[in-house]
Amino acid sequence: MTAEFLTYLVLGAAAGGLINGFAGFGTALFALGFWLQIMPPVQAVSIVVVMSVASGLQGLWLVRRSIADQPRRLARFLLPALFGIPAGVALLSVLQPGILKIVIAGFMILYGGFFTLRGSLPRLERPTPVIDAIVGLLGGILGGAASLSGALPTMWCAMRPWPKSETRAVLQPYNVTVLALAMAVFAFNGAYGWDSIKLIAIALPVTMIAAQIGISAFKRLSDDQFRRIIIFMMFVSGSILLVREFMF
């Protein structure tokens, strides 16, 4: 393992952990920009899923009371997603994941750019249980087809004037559950060989420490600041996704 390889590994682990701790999503988008430079795509994705779940568990503990206070809201998103994941995997036989990622990246850039430049934030206050379930289902489909489970739920939740802990109480367990299922699939398919386990052992402590730094920053934000930041993160994440699709 060269010094350059180790540098990219640590930088990816730190970037992914920091953004997950801060916003509750985005580990893959930020870590893969480094890791795809040094390892094959399947290995990079299988490792980043482990980092996403591990750092996400810290975020779950942070908002555990908000999760307990709104279990039905979370269920409206999460339960349909569980049915959407196998549907998304099935769609891989008829869809090009790369094209799907480019389309979703375009929506993320337009959404994030529009609401970042607006002076006022969107405020959808009335309950929308049916739309919540549809968004959860579509997120599951995108997760199975293109590893983008969090994109639509994040965009939708950012439009609701919920306290930051309530927003995160939906996004964090949603992403952790979907990615834990993906990790189980990778494990079943034998993706975690000895080489990957060694890389995980190096990257995991860095990710966990960086996630704690991100969580500390999250605690200092007001509710509106958090909403503005995750909307801006949609723009940044979409841009990274678009660049990555064209580069790799």
pLDDT tens profile 48-84: 889 989 988 888 888 888 888 989 999 999 999 999 8
Average pLDDT, the chain: 86
Per-residue pLDDT averaged across 156-164, rounded?
Answer: 87
Q: Would the pLDDT of 244 be above 80?
A: no
Tokens read off for 240? 């990274």
Angstrom distance (rounded) from CA 71 to CA 7: 41
Structure-block tokens of residue 54 = 């591990």
Mean pLDDT of 137-147: 81
pTM over 0.85: no
pLDDT per residue over 16-38, tens digit each? 899 888 888 778 778 887 888 88
Phi, psi dihedral angles at 112 (to 5 degrees): -65, -40
- What span, in angstroms and rounded, lies between the C-alpha atoms of 102 and 232? 18
pLDDT of residue 119: 67
Average pLDDT over residues 217-226: 88
